[in-house]
A and B are shown apart, each in its own frame.
Chain A
């Protein structure tokens, strides 16, 4: 059983490193970074306490929001999804990404206190 899981994971990693375009790998590494940052913030909150609760919330929401926006960007610039996003060019996707991030940062900074 564990054997099959390991083999599936290994196969997945192989496929990923070979068939994914470089651009998408960049975005994936960005997503991993955001994920780790959010997880570490949550760990701090669990261990030490929620003292400046608004700051914790703002930081965590920032990570979650950035992750979601990153995922949206990845979906939209993936050439395999081109048929679903005929009207959205990769540049347009990136511009949307930047604009949404501006709004997210505004809210996060407001809440961070």
Chain B
């Protein structure tokens, strides 16, 4: 019970494994040519010379003028600079017959750079220069220096350079510690959408990591800890950029391409169809290109189509069919299996080398065919079926002689069958249209012909029903049959016959205006909001006077009541209060005309506090006076009572 479950789980895993990632990007021949052209720049300084010469060497080509390059290296070389020695040494190694003269001082300078105090870059360059110039070096010292520097410089580039350095050391040295760094670095890669795997530092660093990892793994003889999917994602990251911003970047891509094409453990395989993946009777052979990332054909591989499944019916058409190698491509005659037209899913397996990665590929292949029209019958059917239909058979590509009439009493009908010319099987293409074209007015109406259950296409035209599409324009219409499909090699446009259509109630205008969508439309005039009608000035003025009139009434009433200002005390606080209050009212008017709320509040605060203080003092004085008056009044009353 448990074992059955375990087995099914393993099978499930295997099925999933079958759908592994395949590379989306690689260097096509044009990309390789572009990279080579980019690297082949005229030599300006040692660094660019290094990138050009060594980069081209990695791609398998040479610089245009080797002797000139060698002389350039010798002339530009600065014997006291480690960088200069590194560039010259590596580049001279890539050129044939170019020797850099070395002196004892040079060797001492390079050896002195190998210490814990130099940066990883310096150690890398000096070790590489020593190795390229054939000078002896103490590998164990290098290893310990690198180990110390890695802990101090923990960035990706430094560790990558350390890996690259280790690949130049003797195999007897203790490289295990540095080898583990590959796995640590691989863990720092960012997975972007399951398609790309790269460092956040960018393309150049990722490509250099690839080069270094494989260089060290090959040197040590241990497979790098990268899973198949990760290798493919690295391929995608490095080769997705097709134009390079600097020589250094192009050099890193070239190095990575060389590493992917030629290492002891992982060779990513690119399988693609040569030209369109289409097979037909005229071209029955499916040709595949099986290459590495540099688009170099892997002729040693053996390619087999594991299965070919029809997309529409899901039936398996082919099983375990081998491809044969012809020149640089692998071929299979698919038409031998006599597939019906349509799309097929091929599963292709590439074997022959245990290093192949992404060697199971799914390809979609189209099988196309030619269509033939048979049994095309045109008939005029009477609506009340009193007279039998007159049927005319027309053979493709001829046109029917005579014209057919369809009016209120008669319908026009059309029936035909579509067959595969090569196999005789009935076809149902995507596009089967009947087009009626009025030559005089330029009208065009298109209908769809539908197949019935026996795959016989039928079309019937009832003039009374369809008069709106024709705008009720009577006349002679040329009838075309249009047949098309992605899997058809011969789409058909066939003028079958001329049909005379008669419509009742010809309300249509004599000239039909073509529905032109692209003429300028009538201009939209924007109506601004009309300001509301103001009442006449006379009315406003009258009412203003009316509204102000109660003030007069107030003054009169107050006068009658005997209000006066005889009790006005001319103390400073009361004067200040009245002035401040008047100023506040004036501020209100100014606020209405000039100011905004913030300014008003500011002035109001000043005036208000002044007025408040003055008013407080004034009212306090008044209160004191009032209380004194009340007390004296009470005292007088008390005295009079006694």
Contact = CB atoms under 8 A, between A and B. Distances in A.
A12 interface: no
Contacts of B604: 102, 106
A51 B534 contact: yes
A25 B561 contact: yes
Contacts of B600: 106
Given A40-B546, A91-B620, A94-B619, A29 B561 contact: yes
Given A95-B615, A112-B592, A51 B532 contact: yes
Interface string A29-64: 110110011001100100011010000000000000
A22 interface: yes
B536 to A, nearest CB: 9
Contact of B615 (A37, A89, A90, A98): A98
B607 to A, nearest CB: 10
Given A51-B535, A94-B619, A109 B591 contact: yes
Interface string B547-591: 101110110011001110000000000000000010011001001
Interface in A82-101: 89-92, 94-95, 98-99
Contacts of A95: 615-616, 619
B372 interface: no
A35 to B, nearest CB: 8
A90 B620 CA distance: 11
A36 B547 CA distance: 8
Nearest to B534: A51
Interface residues of A, number: 29
A91 B623 contact: yes
A32 B555 CA distance: 12
B542 to A, nearest CB: 9
Given A102-B608, A109-B592, A22 B547 contact: no
B543 interface: yes
Given A26-B563, A95-B616, A33 B535 contact: no
A102 B584 contact: yes
A33 B615 contact: no
Contacts of A99: 612
A36 B546 CA distance: 10
Contacts of A94: 619
Contact of B551 (A33, A44, A51): A33
Contacts of B608: 102
Nearest to A89: B623
B539 interface: yes
A109 B532 contact: no
Contacts of B532: 51
B464 to A, nearest CB: 61
Contact of B543 (A29, A48, A105, A112): A48
A41 B626 CA distance: 39
A41 B547 contact: yes
Interface residues of B, number: 37
A110 interface: yes
A36 B535 contact: no
B390 interface: no
Contacts, number: 74
A61 to B, nearest CB: 15
Most chain A beta carbons < 10 A, residue from B547, B551, B562: B547
Interface string B182-200: 0000000000000000000
B263 to A, nearest CB: 81
Given A22-B561, A44-B547, A95-B616, A33 B592 contact: no
A109 B589 CA distance: 8
B543 A44 contact: yes
Nearest to A22: B561
Given A102-B584, A102-B604, A91 B591 contact: no
A38 to B, nearest CB: 9
Interface string B611-627: 01001100110110010
A40 B554 contact: no
Query: Which of A25, A30, A91, A105 has its CB near the most chain B CB atoms (within 10 A)?
Result: A91
B561 A40 contact: no
A102 B623 CA distance: 22
Interface in B497-556: 532-535, 539-540, 543, 546-547, 549-551, 553-554
Contacts of A26: 558, 561, 563
Best-surrounded residue of B540, B585, B588 (most CB of chain A within 10 A): B588
A91 B558 contact: no
Contact of B547 (A37, A48, A89): A37
Given A29-B557, A91-B619, A22 B550 contact: no
Contacts of A102: 584, 604, 608
A44 B547 CA distance: 9
B534 to A, nearest CB: 6
B7 interface: no
B387 interface: no
B16 interface: no
A25 B559 CA distance: 12
Contacts of B539: 48
A36 B619 contact: no
A94 B612 CA distance: 12
Contacts of A105: 585, 588
6 nearest A-B residue pairs (beta carbon)? A91-B619, A33-B554, A36-B550, A29-B557, A44-B543, A33-B550
Given A22-B562, A33-B553, A40-B550, 13 more contacts: A26-B561, A29-B557, A33-B554, A37-B550, A44-B546, A51-B533, A51-B535, A91-B620, A98-B581, A98-B615, A102-B584, A105-B588, A106-B604
26 contacts: A29-B557, A29-B558, A29-B561, A32-B557, A33-B554, A33-B557, A40-B550, A41-B547, A44-B547, A48-B535, A48-B539, A51-B532, A89-B623, A90-B623, A90-B626, A95-B615, A98-B581, A98-B615, A102-B584, A102-B608, A105-B588, A106-B591, A109-B588, A109-B592, A110-B591, A110-B597
